[in-house]
Amino acid sequence: MSIVTSLYENYLLSQVSGSSAKVPEHVSLVLSERDLLQSNGFVKLKEYISWCCQLDIRVTSIYVDVIDTEEDLRSGIIERLLEELEELFPDLPPEIGFEVYTDDGDLHLKREDRKMLVYVSVGFGGRKEVTKAVLSILSDVKNGKMSSSDILEETIESRLKVKHEPDIFIRSGGKHLSDFLIWQAVYSELYFTDVNWHNIRKLDLLRIIRDFQKRQRRFGK
């Protein structure tokens, strides 16, 4: 890191920490499988999680969008991603908990959090998540465990994998958003950055947080 970059990062940090507005409690990030599987992709992911922890972000949810739709190739990509995550996550500091979900919405890895929680969804998007939640409710109705009249918004929310609503959604590389957390993110702020995932730095995350602190959230009003 150059002296100029270091000075600018410290300047941004002082602005963020000195602001009367809070840092976002939950930051959501959308990546493609190519972002992670290319050189230093998982190293950058570990750095990103570390930055979030340093900045007292309580939750970060990360969606790995598996773009390839050819079944055998897609399965191989997902398997490789999960293997890489199996190596990465146990090395995180013990105060960082995590939940890793497969493309079917099954829990693959988990560790209880103490300071920060990281959700990672590998190809399990929002449409699948909501569909799975609704099907589980219908199954309970069919089996007599609940009545259809008991179904409320809270009922569906209780069946979702990610229980936290993102404050801000980040898409790196200037690409479009996915359907990740379509229920939870209805009032989230959106931030598109042209910075490629492999070039993202802590100062880029600080810029995003500074921008978030300046926004006036309306929550749909």
Helix (H/G/I), strand (E/B), else coil: 116: strand
CA 180 to chain centre: 9
Structure tokens at 152: 């409320």
Report d(CA 203, CA 218) in Å as an integer: 27
Q: What is the pLDDT of residue 79?
A: 94
Q: What is the pLDDT of residue 25?
A: 96
Distances (CA, A) of 53 to 88, 117, 148: 16, 9, 42
C-alpha dihedral over 204, 209, 212, 213, to 10 degrees? -140
Band (pLDDT 50/70/90 cuts) for residue 62 is very high
- 26-32 sheet: strands from edge to edge: 107-111, 96-101, 116-122, 59-65, 26-32, 168-171, 189-192
Return the bridge partners of 29, or none: 62, 170
With residue 52 as reference, give the H or E element that holds it. helix 41-54
Domain regions of the chain by residue span: 23-124+165-214, 125-160
pLDDT per residue as tens digits for the range 15-51 = 999 999 999 999 999 998 999 998 899 999 999 999 9
Q: What is the pLDDT of residue 179?
A: 85
Return the bridge partners of 31, or none: 64
Please, which residues have CB within 8 angstroms of residue 15's CB and are 6 or more apart in sequence? Answer: 206, 210
pLDDT per residue as tens digits for the range 142-198 = 999 999 888 999 999 999 999 889 999 998 765 666 788 999 988 899 998 888 899
pLDDT per residue as tens digits for the range 75-86 = 999 999 999 999
User: Which CATH code of 1.10.4160.10, 2.60.40.1180, 3.40.1180.10, 3.10.100.10 fits the domain covering 23-124+165-214?
Assistant: 3.40.1180.10
3-state per-residue secondary structure call for 71-85: HHHHHHHHHHHHHHH
